[in-house]
């Protein structure tokens, strides 16, 4: 259905990546956000292009992560060429630390063909001179990171260049339906007719549950993060991850420490309690951070679903309606694969979805 009009609700990483992919395939795309483009969870994201302790995630998520990771290099190169903005896609590796090495990691690596190195204490200190007191760890050399504000900016510019109509500060209030088919949306500025609508509204994706008579069961989970300015002679660290919290160091010394996992509904505030937890975590993971004061603190609402499995594909009951949401802690990692899958589904070249059969 080339040149059909597709409305995408939500301009986070998932909506932007989907809009770009659909525009490349010749669709007329309208991308709507109730706030500014790229200001949801994606904005505060750490940009680690892998699940934390990836052997613990559901196989469905691991497979989508592998697909996305394989696409990432070409995706970032293309977006950089289209936009002129370099998103700092860097292979930093990821060091997963703990006091006991997990056999599940080596099993996962051998069954999925991923590279890992199991390290003892001296291996840890060789890799990160100021690592905390952990005795063992697992290094994943092939993990990349990206700088989120830059990736969002470059994707926004790229979408514009490809002809996507971007409408910020325009909230979708309702889905329009004609019989069993979606026919557009009502927004704060009026109605937009569409041949297809994609819900990519992150933590807010269940706003339309009453229109659909079916909940997507996407719930907000708050994540808080702090950042430091570290000395540039210490910055060639990999991502350091203890399964829940992590330290991400950029080339200019900016160092992020995240992330809390809090079920507090749509409250996106920051708290002193989280600040304390994150400062302690920072010191425990990287001793050098104990000498520094955090310079900033922010939070975002992750779109969570059971078992961390997102919804990517056609809505099971409403024709013309598509879902690309619920990516929880892995939205940036999973974005290129999810965009490809949703575009294949809208275009009708595939009906293989992720998560949608469980609705
Ligand atoms: C602290 C933190 C760190 C993270 N770190 C990582 C990481 O390192 N790696 C990783 O892969 N993932 C990470 N994540 C998770 C990742 O950020 C999310 O999975 C991802 O941002 C989800 O993207 P999204 O586009 O679905 O949602 P969002 O970025 O939240 O975008 C949804 C958009 O929809 C808009 N919207 C909602 N309702 C409407 C409506 N009715 N009408 C119009 N617009 C609407 C919102 O304004 C918003 O802009 C992190 C998350 C947090 C909070």
Query: Which of 278, 304, 330 represents a domain boundary (last residue)?
Result: 304
Residue nearest ligand 1's atom 27 by CA? 202
pTM score of the predicted model: 0.97
Kindly state the average pLDDT of the residues 193-218. 92
For the cut 80, the answer to whether the pLDDT of residue 79 exceeds it is yes
Q: Specify whether the CB–CB gap between 176 and 185 falls below 8 A.
A: yes
> Do 156 and 75 belong together in one domain?
yes
**Chain-wide mean pLDDT for the chain?**
94
> Do 298 and 310 belong together in one domain?
no
Q: Is 336 helix (H, G, I), strand (E, B) or coil?
A: helix
* pLDDT grade for 127, boundaries at 50, 70 and 90: very high
Condensed to tens digits (0 to 9), the pLDDT of residues 311-322 reads 999 999 999 999
> Do 171 and 254 belong together in one domain?
no
Condensed to tens digits (0 to 9), the pLDDT of residues 218-235 reads 999 999 999 999 986 666
- Could you tell me which of 301, 255, 229 has the C-alpha nearest to residue 46? 255
pLDDT at 1: 44
> Do 10 and 38 belong together in one domain?
yes
Q: Which atom of ligand 1 is nearest to the CA of 333?
A: 11
> Do 158 and 195 belong together in one domain?
yes
For the cut 60, the answer to whether the pLDDT of residue 2 exceeds it is no
- Cβ–ligand 1 distance for 333 under 6 Å, the answer yes
> Do 156 and 294 belong together in one domain?
no
Q: For the chain, how big is the Rg over CA atoms in Å?
A: 20
DSSP, residue by residue, 243-295: SS-EEEE-TTSEEEEE---B--TT-----HHHHHHHHHHHHHHBGGGGGS---
The whole domain housing 172 covers 5-83+148-216+306-358
Condensed to tens digits (0 to 9), the pLDDT of residues 298-351 reads 999 999 999 999 999 999 999 999 999 999 999 999 999 999 999 999 999 987
> Do 160 and 211 belong together in one domain?
yes
pLDDT at 336: 98
- Cβ–ligand 1 distance for 258 under 6 Å, the answer yes
Distance between CA atoms of residues 340 and 293, nearest Å: 41
CATH number, domain at 250? 3.30.9.10
Query: Which of 262, 281, 304 represents a domain boundary (last residue)?
Result: 304
Distance between CA atoms of residues 352 and 330, nearest Å: 20
Dihedral over alpha carbons 251, 252, 257, 262 (to 10 degrees): -90
- Cβ–ligand 1 distance for 302 under 6 Å, the answer yes
Close Cβ partners of 319 (under 8 Å, ≥ 6 residues apart): 180, 181, 182
> Do 226 and 354 belong together in one domain?
no
Query: Which of 260, 281, 304 represents a domain boundary (last residue)?
Result: 304
CATH number, domain at 178? 3.50.50.60
- Cβ–ligand 1 distance for 201 under 6 Å, the answer yes
Condensed to tens digits (0 to 9), the pLDDT of residues 135-162 reads 899 999 999 999 999 999 999 999 999 9
Kindly state the average pLDDT of the residues 71-93. 97
Share of the chain above pLDDT 90, in %: 86
Q: How far is the CA of 352 from the centre of ligand 1 (A)?
A: 23
> Do 266 and 156 belong together in one domain?
no
For the cut 90, the answer to whether the pLDDT of residue 50 exceeds it is yes
């Amino acid at each position: 259905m080339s040149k059909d009009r597709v409305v995408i609700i939500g301009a986070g990483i998932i909506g932007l990546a989907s809009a770009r992919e659909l525009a490349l395939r010749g669709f007329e795309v309208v991308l709507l956000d109730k706030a500014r483009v790229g200001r949801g969870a994606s904005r505060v994201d750490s940009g680690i292009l892998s699940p934390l302790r990836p052997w613990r995630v559901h196989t469905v998520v691991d497979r989508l992560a592998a697909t996305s990771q394989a696409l990432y290099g070409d995706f970032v190169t293309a977006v950089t060429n289209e936009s002129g903005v370099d998103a700092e896609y860097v292979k930093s590796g990821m060091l997963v630390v703990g006091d006991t090495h997990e056999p599940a990691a080596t099993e996962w690596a051998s069954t999925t063909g991923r590279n890992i190195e199991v390290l003892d204490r001296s291996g840890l200190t060789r890799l990160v001179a100021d690592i905390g007191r952990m005795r063992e760890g697992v290094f994943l050399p092939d993990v990349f990171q990206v700088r989120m504000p830059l990736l969002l900016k470059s994707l926004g510019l790229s979408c514009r260049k490809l002809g996507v109509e971007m409408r910020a500060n325009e909230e979708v209030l309702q889905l329009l339906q004609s019989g069993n088919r979606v026919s557009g949306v009502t927004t704060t500025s009026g109605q937009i007719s569409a041949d297809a609508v994609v819900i990519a509204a992150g933590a807010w994706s269940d706003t339309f549950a009453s229109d659909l008579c079916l909940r997507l069961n996407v719930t907000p989970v708050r994540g808080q993060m702090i950042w430091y300015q570290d000395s540039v002679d210490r910055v060639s660290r990999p991502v350091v991850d203890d399964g829940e919290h992590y330290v991400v160091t950029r080339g200019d010394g900016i160092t992020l420490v995240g992330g809390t996992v809090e079920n507090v509904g749509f409250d996106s505030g920051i708290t002193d309690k989280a600040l304390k937890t994150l400062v302690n975590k920072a010191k425990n993971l990287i001793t050098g951070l104990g000498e520094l004061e955090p310079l900033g603190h922010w939070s975002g609402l992750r779109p969570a679903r059971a078992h961390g499995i997102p919804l990517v594909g056609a809505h099971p009951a409403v024709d013309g309606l598509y879902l690309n949401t619920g990516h929880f802690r892995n939205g940036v990692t999973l974005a290129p694969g999810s965009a490809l899958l949703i575009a294949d589904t809208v275009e009708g070249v595939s009906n293989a979805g992720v998560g949608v059969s469980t609705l």
